[in-house]
């Protein structure tokens, strides 16, 4: 069972303790566990929209795509680039914006096989994503919450993973231990380039994110992972398209052209950057 321990009330930051199928703070704020074992720590007043984050259909498309393991090389790249000194028994990991949990679940399986004991937490602002994730692995603590205001005390984690997500660096710094690690995974210049060439009349120049550095962190390694995969049906192509921003941004004509495809060979081009939290001195 997941621990759901050492979390804090999103309203007053008091520590939460387990009371049967609820978490409670001393001020009486109560958060019930859902049937599948996750807990929603995103209070109504912190919601910018009624149904924030990825929608039910986006989550379903992402899950259908990822479950076919086209992106498993990214799991391997995360594990092989992970600084060895922090891949140790007892490591506490937060996947911030974990989506429907594919990556954290696959990482958990590999680390179990290697007999590395971990304490894993997956958090996402989308209740649809966390509902799906919580069905994958009951040993992981799954939380609905926001990166902008993480429902945990300071220095709660040793490692934060932010995969194709929305990093909030001052919050990540707050909840990481001194010299804790942060991994940012993002797409590189050639990511899905074959699809983008169909979707857009013109491909814009690639702009590296955080090229001026990241406040509170220093970069310890950077690597690029490139691989190819082939989608062999229109359903697979639509699943991929639905989990990318292109579904909203691409031209009507481009999307119509993609609808005619029966298969496509694609390039995945991924950047992995590990950062270490800077000390207070």
Contact residues toward Zn ion (CB under 5 A) are 9, 11-12, 14, 25, 27, 29
CB of 192 to ligand SAM, least distance (A): 13
Task: Please answer whether residues 5 and 18 qualify as being in contact, where contact means their C-beta atoms are separated by less than 8 angstroms.
Answer: yes
Nearer CB in complex with Zn ion: 11/193: 11
Q: Which residues, 99 to 158, sit near ligand SAM by CB under 6 A? A: 99, 102-103, 124-126, 129, 146-148
Q: Could you tell me the two tokens for 254? A: 């481009």
How many residues line the site for ligand SAM (CB under 6 A)? 19
Binding flag, residue 57, ligand SAM (CB under 6 A)? no
Among 16, 77, 163, 183, binds ligand SAM (CB under 6 A): 163
Q: Could you tell me which stretch among 164-172, 226-234, 248-256, 271-279 binds ligand SAM (CB under 6 A)?
A: 164-172
Nearer CB in complex with ligand SAM: 24/184: 184
User: Smallest Cα–Cα separation from 221: which of 171, 280, 271?
Assistant: 271
Q: Which residues pair with 277 in a beta bridge?
A: 217
CA quadruple 245, 249, 251, 255: dihedral, nearest 10 = 20
Number of H helices, E strands in the chain: 9, 11
- 199's contact among Zn ion, ligand SAM, none, with CB below 5 to 8 A by partner kind, is none
Task: Please answer whether residues 243 and 58 qualify as being in contact, where contact means their C-beta atoms are separated by less than 8 angstroms.
Answer: yes
Nearer CB in complex with Zn ion: 46/234: 46
What's the Cα-to-Cα distance from 243 to each of 54, 117, 123, 163, 272, rounded to whole Å? 9, 32, 18, 13, 20
Among 12, 69, 109, 166, binds ligand SAM (CB under 6 A): 166
User: Is 252 labelled a binding residue?
Assistant: no
CB of 103 to ligand SAM, least distance (A): 6
The helix (run of H) or strand (run of E) holding residue 181 is strand 176-187
Q: Which residues contact 257 (CB under 8 A, 6 or more apart)?
A: 198, 199
Nearer CB in complex with Zn ion: 41/129: 41
The number of beta carbons lying within 10 Å of the beta carbon of residue 113 is: 8
Among 9, 10, 41, 54, binds ligand SAM (CB under 6 A): 54
Q: Are strands 22-24 and 17-19 parallel, antiparallel or unpaired?
A: antiparallel
Nearer CB in complex with ligand SAM: 24/63: 63
User: Is 191 labelled a binding residue?
Assistant: yes
Binding site for ligand SAM (CB under 6 A): 53-54, 62, 97-99, 102-103, 124-126, 129, 146-148, 163-166
């Amino acid at each position: 069972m997941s621990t759901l321990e050492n979390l804090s009330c999103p309203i007053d930051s008091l520590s939460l303790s387990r009371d049967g199928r609820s978490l409670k703070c001393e001020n009486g704020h109560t958060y019930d566990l859902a049937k599948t074992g996750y807990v929603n720590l995103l209070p109504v007043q912190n919601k910018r929209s009624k149904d924030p984050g990825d929608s039910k259909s986006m989550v379903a498309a992402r899950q259908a795509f990822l479950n076919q393991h086209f992106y498993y090389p990214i799991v391997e790249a995360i594990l092989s680039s992970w600084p060895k000194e922090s891949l140790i028994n007892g490591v506490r990991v937060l996947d911030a914006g974990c989506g429907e949990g594919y990556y954290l679940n696959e990482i958990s399986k590999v680390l179990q096989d290697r007999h590395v004991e971990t304490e894993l937490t997956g958090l996402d602002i989308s209740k649809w994503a966390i509902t799906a994730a919580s069905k994958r692995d009951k040993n992981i603590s799954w939380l609905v919450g926001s990166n902008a205001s993480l429902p945990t005390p300071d220095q709660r984690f040793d490692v934060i993973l932010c995969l194709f997500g929305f990093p909030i660096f001052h919050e990540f710094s707050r909840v990481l231990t001194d010299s804790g690690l942060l991994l940012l995974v993002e797409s590189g210049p050639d990511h899905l380039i074959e699809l983008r060439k169909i979707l857009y009349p013109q491909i814009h120049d690639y702009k590296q994110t955080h090229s001026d550095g990241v406040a509170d962190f220093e970069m310890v390694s950077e690597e690029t992972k490139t691989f190819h995969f082939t989608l062999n049906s229109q359903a697979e192509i639509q699943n991929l398209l639905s989990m990318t921003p292109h579904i909203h941004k691409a031209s009507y004509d481009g999307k119509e052209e993609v609808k005619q495809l029966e298969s496509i060979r694609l390039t995945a081009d991924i950047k992995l950057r590990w950062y270490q939290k800077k000390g207070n001195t």
